Structure 1
């Protein structure tokens, strides 16, 4: 609470809008999930069919997307005041195929409901 010097009225701080951070998180969660599925396909092609062509570019692409996903998820976690445990779980979701999609849905539902992770 902020008090003014001229009188004793109290001004509440403005609530933090989570619309922008949530949208950024959702986009990056989706892109990271698609990138990880592509990387999984590239591993299968490389080791099962001796076709390493996709490994070079898809690995770098997913790695870059995952780094941006981490930054965006931490930004949302700080603004939404998530617990450390919830934040770490969401950060790790980008490393397991399909889990980033599940995490994105759960995070979206909880943030829109005003609940913390």
Structure 2
């Protein structure tokens, strides 16, 4: 939506407003990419509804929400109790591994989120 608004013809006297809006859109894109890169990493599924990600062990809270596009995991750090939502995109995993991951996660029993 922001790109459509910025691509519309603007009067010349609105150039400072247009530049400000363009800067905000670019900064938001950069910030979003940094957040994605900070959460990028290998996930190892452990026993008892736990996984290892970003050098920490996480407990999976509740049943993961799954769709064809991906799955949303509610996690709690086992050492600090910090909570985190993790979206695992299906296109970031090999197709066979994706099927196996969905099957394993669907069969596990999870702690209810408190």
**In which range does the TM-score fall when normalised by the shorter chain?**
0.3 to 0.5
Greater relative contact order, per chain length (Cα 8 Å cut-off, separation 6+):
1
More helix by share: 1
TM-score, length-normalised on structure 2?
0.34
TM-score, length-normalised on structure 1?
0.33
